[in-house]
Structure 1
Amino acid sequence: MTKDAQMIKARRPHHKSRTGCVQCKVRKVKCDEQKPTCSRCKSYKTECSFLQTHPLKRAAPTVQSILSGPTPTPSIPDTPSSAQTFSRATPSPSPSILHHSLPQGNFTMLDLELLHAWVIDGAAAFLDYREADVHVFTTTAIQMAFQHPFLMHQILSLGALYLAHVNPQKASHYQHASDNHAAIGITQFQPQIGNMDEKNCHACFAFSTHLFLLAWATQDVTKPSTIFFAPTPKTDSETVNIQWVKLHRGAMQLITEFWPILEHGPMHVLFDNWVGLNPHREDPVEDSVRPHLDTLAEAWISGSTTVSEKEILFKTLGLLRRVFNLMSFVPQVGNLHVVMAWFSWIPDRFIAMLENKVPEALLIVSYYCVALKRMGHIFWLTGKSENLLKTVVGVMGDGWERWTRWPMEQVLGVDGLKEMSAADNR
């Protein structure tokens, strides 16, 4: 090769930007960090947002500390004795968009299209058409969003994802809009979660709930799942969903301080069906599931895990048993609520075990995929159980076939199991 050819082939040195705008981080492109608007955002004619670097009003967790620090383990909330001091808010009538002041800045025609899509069809499609939930997310949450722009941006992001689903020919257009609104919403959420009080806790709770939908909906089923951990060495693109997961769990930890207010506030419908459930009761499960959960612990009883790790595994398995119990015998809670709740219930140390690829922890996730599969009819969860199961089984490696066969049969089916086995033998 000539010297000139070598010079052409050589790559230019790349210096990774760590202080670029949020929009460029979401697009996974280099930002020139020009302020107030970087060159890329200027060319896209979109808002340009840089993460807050000045101190908050008081020492409080930031989004960055939430993403990197310990995360919560919310459980089924008991009805606290102090709840009697709060009066339940009367549900407001459906708000008219014309009767509210717009959030900071003005709506574009695209924003109005996204909001319309969410209110008319998107929320129902996301929430499995549960009437009470849809009402809350299309009336109460919208009303709060006009007062809290960070929540409005997130709602618009979900509306864009729905339109990308129903209009595949314009998917990239709506996906770009979704990424942009999601980035702005998360940036604006940072000071709110760090300064939570009785006035903004309802909007923060709504944001965290919507964020959960966003984290799952943006999973690419053509690539290994990153919802719990990065299956390969971490890159910027692989950590996006992991960060959103930690943000959701971290926010919920801070929000639990306001449970009594939230349970009797404008979004009380989301709590009503959980009231009265004893978190310490036994959890019988259907006969087709029970023997598999009963024998799962054999995978780690005599294994190399430590005593404390075994305790975490038993606790997490108990929470999974509760998921199957509620899905089968407590229909009023709603299967989507239950499957998603496990995501928040699992202990921080279990999340750490997943990040460290502990096989026994991955095995429990493979059984969780059976419950997740039952929600596969919802468009944003279609294929997610299969994708997550294939990812964790692939990371676990050989030697666990005795325990993984049942979840693989339930999630992939007999034909899918044969295809995966054939692929492994190539």
Structure 2
Amino acid sequence: MASKKRKAHHKSRLGCKNCKARKIKCDEKRPSCSNCVRRRIDCDFLQVKPIQPGGSPAAALNMMDLELLHCYTTTTYLTLSENPLIREFYRSTVVQLGLHCDYIMRAILAVSGLHLAHHRQLQRDHYLAAAVAHHHAASQVAIPLLNNPTPKDAEMLFLFSVLTTYYALGWPRTSSADTLLLSMTSPNAGFPDWVYMLRGTKGLIELSGVPSSGPLAPLFAHSQSRFILREESCESLANREASAALTALTQLEERLRQVYGVAVRELKKSFRQADTCRARGETYELIDAFIWVFFMAEDLLPLLRAPTTRREAVAIFAFFCVLLHRLDGHWWMQGWGRHLVAHAYDLLDEEGRLWIRWAVDEIGWVPPPAAERL
């Protein structure tokens, strides 16, 4: 009998080191293979030559980068704020700063890449790979500076952290089990990194001071105006149920009652501000929700990672998820409120789930049957 001809099979010999180590097929896509993009790990294809401090980032841009920059300056910047002055800040000032600071430019392009990936599903992996490459290159420069920042570096690093927050929020989530930004494998690290990001940001502000002039002054002035609105907002009928439910949480743990009390008091202010914006027909903004995160970055948020003390902290955080859900119309926030309240629900026991009943109902998330959670 004539032997059958073997079907031609292309064997990758140039795959990335991660795929070789895991003994899986690498598609060799550049600048990052699909397996590394999906797992959000550094691919050795991502060896982007950093721009020298004295050089111009624009000189290193290719046609893909120009497409990302064009998208950012025509569309993406409009999605980062509803305030006209802050939109102009993102469109003009941030790009100008990026022309002189390589990691700021890379962060801009990374956010733009995720925006394109969100809207162009047929080319999703292509744009995700570009976003990963740029943020990886930006982080290689920025993160070492965070170890010992100077007052001069602090403002640029603060802006980098703001852009990185949008980057982290905008990364696609395929399901509640997505391990990209939400680790479900460890009971001690269940919440995504962006929840804790403002701990470092707060230190940068303390180092540089709040600028009254200079390129970042409009961003800080806007933040201060939103803070004043938050402090002056009055309680409405709409948030009294939330207020009552939150007040009950302050009575749960004697040892940490002061921390919980401050967290609940500040969260009530955030709810009052959200209702004030709704009554005035104004837009609720990311900064409005994240003011609470900024206040609680050093006291409450670390408790989310402490198994012996985090039950009450997780319950309080579940109420914060309601505020995130009110931002769901933005491409970078879609699904986060449901995503995180579902995770909080999984972490709590039956009593704790009763505590957050109002938050779960307000978001409109329906817990799965008990058998599915086993």
Where relative contact order (Cα < 8 A, 6+ residues apart) is larger, the structure is 1
1:407 aligns with 2:359: yes
1:422 deviates by: 6.8
1:286 deviates by: 2.3
Separation in 2, partners of 1:299, 1:227 = 31
1:359 deviates by: 1.5
1:191 deviates by: 3.8
Per-residue CA shift, 1:358-391, capped at 9, x if unaligned? 2111111111111111110111111110010000
Partner of 2:240: 290
Partner of 1:270: 219
1:391 aligns with 2:343: yes
Q: Which runs of 5+ in 1 are unaligned?
A: 1-11, 15-22, 32-39, 50-100
Partner of 1:322: 269
Q: Read off the aligned partner of 1:400 and give its amino acid letter.
A: G
Q: Read off the aligned partner of 1:265 and give its amino acid letter.
A: G
Separation in 2, partners of 1:134, 1:280 = 21
The answer as to whether partners of 1:154 and 1:207 remain within 8 angstroms in 2 is yes
Partner of 2:12: none
SS in 2 for 1:285: coil
SS in 2 for 1:349: coil
TM-score under structure 2 normalisation? 0.77
Per-residue CA shift, 1:147-198, capped at 9, x if unaligned? 1101111111001001101110000011011111111111110243345445
Partner of 1:253: 203
User: Residues 176 and 374 from structure 1, CA distance in 2 versus in 1: closer, same or farther, beyond 3 angstroms?
Assistant: same
1:123 aligns with 2:74: no
User: Residues 265 and 239 from structure 1, CA distance in 2 versus in 1: closer, same or farther, beyond 3 angstroms?
Assistant: farther
Per-residue CA shift, 1:74-98, capped at 9, x if unaligned? xxxxxxxxxxxxxxxxxxxxxxxxx
User: Residues 327 and 298 from structure 1, CA distance in 2 versus in 1: closer, same or farther, beyond 3 angstroms?
Assistant: closer
Partner of 1:362: 314
Separation in 2, partners of 1:114, 1:361 = 39
Partner of 2:293: 343
The answer as to whether partners of 1:224 and 1:391 remain within 8 angstroms in 2 is no
SS in 2 for 1:204: helix
Q: Read off the aligned partner of 2:275 and give its amino acid letter.
A: S
Partner of 1:223: 176
Partner of 1:91: none
Q: Read off the aligned partner of 1:202 and give its amino acid letter.
A: E
User: Residues 274 and 113 from structure 1, CA distance in 2 versus in 1: closer, same or farther, beyond 3 angstroms?
Assistant: closer
Matches within 5 A, 1:73-92: none
Separation in 2, partners of 1:334, 1:189 = 30
Partner of 1:312: 259
Separation in 1, partners of 2:65, 2:221 = 32
Separation in 2, partners of 1:310, 1:339 = 23
1:248 deviates by: 4.3
1:227 deviates by: 10
Separation in 1, partners of 2:40, 2:319 = 37
**Which ranges of 4 or more aligned residues in structure 1 deviate by more than 6 Å?**
23-26, 225-229, 330-333
1:300 deviates by: 5.0
Between the two proteins, what is the percent identity of the paired residues? 19
Partner of 1:420: 368
Number of residue pairs aligned between Structure 1 and Structure 2: 337
